[in-house]
Every structure is written in structure tokens, then in C-alpha cells.
Amino acid sequence: MRFFARNCLPPPYDVSVAPSRPNLCTVFDAGKICISPLTVICTRSEEGRHLLRSSVSVQHYIAQLWILVGNIRGDVLPGDPGTTSEGFIPMLRTSWALTNFVCVSESEDPDKATLPLSNYIHAAGGVKPVVITLLKYIRRITRDAVAVEEPRSWTTRDESVKLLHLYTTGLKYSFLFLQTISRQDASCRAQLIRQGSIRTVVDAITQISPRILVQANHELDFHPDMGLAERQNVLWSGYSYIASAIRDADDGVTGVCQAIDAGLLQTLTNALVCPAHANCRDHPPRGRMGDIELLFLLATFFIYHRVVQSITRHWYFFVQNFSRTKQETRDEGLGIALGLVLRSTIDAMKHRNVEPINVHLYRCSGPGCSMRVSKFVSKKRRCSGCLISIYCSEKCQRTAWRNGHKKWCQVLRCTIGPWGSREIRTSLQVIAGFETSSISGKVKEVETRVREAQQQFPDFSNTLVLMLDMTVYPSESHVLPVHMLEQFPGGDPIWPEIAAEIRQRSDSPPKGYMFSVVKVHLGNSTFTLFSPSTALRMAFEDQYFLDDEVYNSEDEDETDDSKTLGDQDLDYDSESLHNKRYDV
């Protein structure tokens, strides 16, 4: 490896001022000599894999040649005599996907020291070249797989079946490579999302799934290496990367929007007609983050306004595909999961479009002030405490403070999280809608949770709080003492006072608990928020005159994005599908 790196690969310095090197071996020869031994080492030798993970010179050679092969044009390496078969470079790409994954993966033996990921990234030229080259590999391997001729016999001896197996294996290790560097390095994870890695993976799955999810015959479907289970695991490796990128990111909302805009929901509806190998003999069950698990993870982000916007843009095509494939469903588990997620998309769009809209986003929060944001004379004033209330003037701000905002400012602050996330602040209406519908749909479950909490915490029976956990799908309910809530100022004396006012002003006061809170996540960050529905209603219900002028937002600078697709058509389709949802 050291010899090839010194004598075959382009030097990392200016060739014009360096001494000439002997022409002992070309890049083509080096790649041809290494492809088979490295593949055997990666698949059959634990000590060999450890060598790839621990040798600086080996990693430098592999990383540099990987970058070189990933960026060549015309599939011709320097030194290629032109007498080889046309499939050499595609085969080199797929084999290199396995080798590079082994280089950055964790060792089987935890006692053996391996090189950090930074060594590989440095040899490859930095984070950005690694990310861009990896995405190029995925796109080119996908292109090669799609270009394979339709197999004639669908047997293990058919050349087309062998090529499909080779390319899909290369895709599998490319997906695993994505997941590994994304998990180990935060800068790689952020750069991958920025370069559209989720979109690239979804496109690859969309293109190759019709070619590999084919139920052929007993011999091929139950083959340990080329069978249907192994082919589906290729796709689930891609799904696993998408899930890990969303869960581990600081901004998981962007990853979810990228997946939805790339057509992930439509791709999953097309998979309904494919057989579910989990129901077949000798076939393993779905992976921990397979297609269904990824669907449920996406559904936990339907509470965010930006995600609902993406759903709205693609909802018609999603429903159309689902209706078309529902009659031919062969994967019943995936069909049930898609039906549940479809209902959640309908609920999300309804919660965003429900009236009255969040008036405080478009009008001055001063009591009785009808000034709209677009008519503010000077730059709008936003309360630095709650980050929600906006005012047209200092006078309105002082008046609102004296008329109750002094007390509710802290409550609103607890409603948007400790860091005042913009995603949460702009999504309060949708979160409040899911909160209200969840509580009303779980009345008996909540009563059971209250009784259990009263028995478990007898000394705190007067300070119980209902927590709706929306970080999982379907959402779960828990009842805990207020001081046991995470990231929530439960010990502040304001909460018993507010609980009393909530009970006094509410038409149907909660029984057995003071108030509700909502647990949400934005990826790797989790927040416990005070009830958005309660906070918005009680902080603003006395400050506005809800007349027609409130909803006339044609000249507002912060317009409602729900008007983009035509609300009348959307509401009609949503209602008609909602009425038929139990047929799924």
C-alpha cells in the first residue's frame, strides 16, 4: 500500500518542483492488483480488517485512490490500456465501497486500538471531499444497477442477477459508510445533510427497489447471500441512515423535510406491492430501523409547521399512490403503518389550518390593538422574555405587561423551550392541535395513569402533571409530579397558582392533575413544554377582537403558507379521505 501510494497516485504537492518518479506502476495497475485481495481481506479476515483500521499508510492509500476513482470522468483510470472489459471501473467502485466502510467502522475486538476517523478524512482531503465523493459513488452505483439488463432466468447463475447483487451490495456498504461517518463526526453529519445526502439515498432506493424487490423462485428468494431478505436489507440500510441522520442531527426538521420532498412517502407506498419477507419461512424479521420504524420516526415531526408545508406539497401524490397500491398490498404490516401515518398527515394539515389562526403572529399583542404586522411604522418589537408576543409600539408593550403579560411571559417561555426554538415557536398551533386531540382521544387511559400516579406518589397527589410524549409514535401519556419533569421549572411557585387559574377558567377542568405538558424533540434535543393550547388561549384570549379583519392577511409580511396549494381543494380532499380512513 505504501509503495502504491508513493509511486502510483498523484502526489499531494506541486509536481513541477518535485523530482520525477520512476514509472513503475500506473494507477490502473494498482487498482487492478488490489481489488481482489482487499475484498477477500474485508470479508474473510478479522486480522486483515483490523490492519485496515489501524495502519496509517494503508488508510492513506485507500482514501486517496477512493477519491481518485470517485471523481474520474469516462470511467477510465490513468494507465488503462483499453483492453479490459467495460465493467472494471463499476466493479472497482462497488468493491471500494466495502473497503472504505471497513476502514472507518469499529473493530470487532474492543481491546484493539484503531485509528480515528480524522486520519481517514485528512488522507482524503477533508470533510467536504469525502462527503461529495461518497454521494457520487451512491449515484453512480445506482446508475450502474439500473442499467443492468433484465435477468432472463432469475437464478444464481444468471449474469444479470450477479451484477445486480454486486451493485446492490456496493450500495449497502455505501449506506453503512454514510451512517458510520455521520455517527462518528458531527461535521460530517452536518455536511452530508447540507449536500443532500437524504435526497440522494431516497433517490437510490426509489430507482433500485423495483429491480431487486422481485419474488422470483424458491432457489433465489431463500439464498443466504442473494435472497429476497438480503436484498431488502440493502434498502433498510438506507432507511437506517435516514433515521440516524434525523435522530442525531441538531436540526432534524430539515432532514425530515428533505426526505419528504425527495418522495420518501411515495417510495414507501410503492413498496406495498412487494412481498414481506418477515412473513416467510427462514426469513429474518425487519431491522430495528426498517421502513416501518422510519415511518413512525417521521410521524413524530408532523407537529412542526415546516414539515407540514412539505407534506402539503406532496400529499396529493402520496394519497394517489396509496389508493392505487392499496388493492394490491402484499406487505400488510407496511400497509397498516402507512395508513396510520396518512391519518396523521391529515390531522397535521387540519391543525395548521384550523380557525382562529395564531393571531399573535400577525397582529400587535397589545390589548385591544388591531394593528397588523405589515402596518407597523417602525421595526416590530418582540418580547425578549417569551419571544412570542410582538408589539407595534412601546405603549402597547407596557400596557400588555400591566394587563397580565407579566405573569404569562414565563409560561409562554416554557411553551417554546429553554432556547426559544424558532421551529417550536412557529409550530405552536400545530402542536396545540395534536395535544388537544391526543388528550380527548385518551380519556380512559389518562384516568388510569392518574390513579396509578396517585398510588405511586401519595405525597405529591396535588402536584401531578399529565405529560404527552410526542417523541414516539403513537404518542404516549404519563402522569408525574411537577418537580420530576425534565427541563421544566417545576419547583417555581407560579405553577400551582397557574393551575388554580386554569381550573377556574376552563370549561372542563382537568381531573387529578394540575395541567398538561408536551415532550417533543428536534433530533438529538428533547424539550418538555408547558401546554401550548393552554398557554396560547389564556395568554391571548382577552387581548383580541376576533373580527374579519384578523383573517384578512393579503398584505401581511408574515403570510400563512397554507394558502399555497389552494385551501378549498385541499380541505375537500382531506375531508373525503378522512371519512374513508377506516377502510385502510
- DSSP calls for 279-321: GSTT-----TTSHHHHHHHHHTTTTSHHHHHHHHHHHHHHHHH
Assign 578 a pLDDT band (cuts: 50, 70, 90).
Answer: very low
**pLDDT of the residue at 493:** 80
Assign 85 a pLDDT band (cuts: 50, 70, 90). Answer: low
Give, as one character, the DSSP assignment of residue 13.
Answer: S
Name the band, by pLDDT with cuts 50, 70 and 90, for residue 510.
low
- pLDDT tens digit sequence for 372-427: 877 766 666 888 888 888 888 888 888 888 888 888 888 888 888 877 788 998 89
Tens of pLDDT along 344-361? 999 999 888 765 556 667
| Greater model confidence, 381 or 136 | 136
Contact 388, 360 (CB under 8 A): yes
Query: Averaged over 209-231, what is the pLDDT?
Result: 82
The tens digit of pLDDT for each residue in 161-185 reads 889 999 999 999 999 999 999 999 9
Check pLDDT > 60 for residue 512. Answer: yes
Cell readout for 165 is 447483487
pLDDT tens digits for range 33-59: 888 888 888 888 888 898 889 888 888
Of 15-29, 334-348, 361-375, where does the model show the most confidence?
334-348
Domain ranges (residues) in the chain: 2-269, 359-559
φ/ψ of 19, rounded to 5, equals -65, 150
Average pLDDT over residues 100-123: 87
Asked if residues 161 and 222 have their Cβ atoms less than 8 Å apart, the reply is no
Cα gap 270→273, rounded to integer Å: 6
What percentage of the chain exceeds 90 in pLDDT? 28
What average pLDDT does the segment 356-375 reach?
75
Report residue 44 as a C-alpha cell. 474473510
pLDDT of residue 544: 41
The residue that leads in pLDDT, 466 or 8, is 466
Average pLDDT, the chain: 80
How far apart are the C-alpha atoms of 92 and 27, rounded to whole Å?
12
Predicted local confidence at residue 555, as pLDDT: 35
Nearest to 239 by CA among 194, 204, 279: 204
Beta sheet of 526-530, edge-to-edge order: 476-481, 464-469, 516-521, 526-530
pLDDT bin (cut points 50, 70, 90) of residue 279 is: very low
Element housing 573 (H / E): helix 567-579
pLDDT of 300 higher than 80: yes
Does residue 567 carry a pLDDT above 80?
no
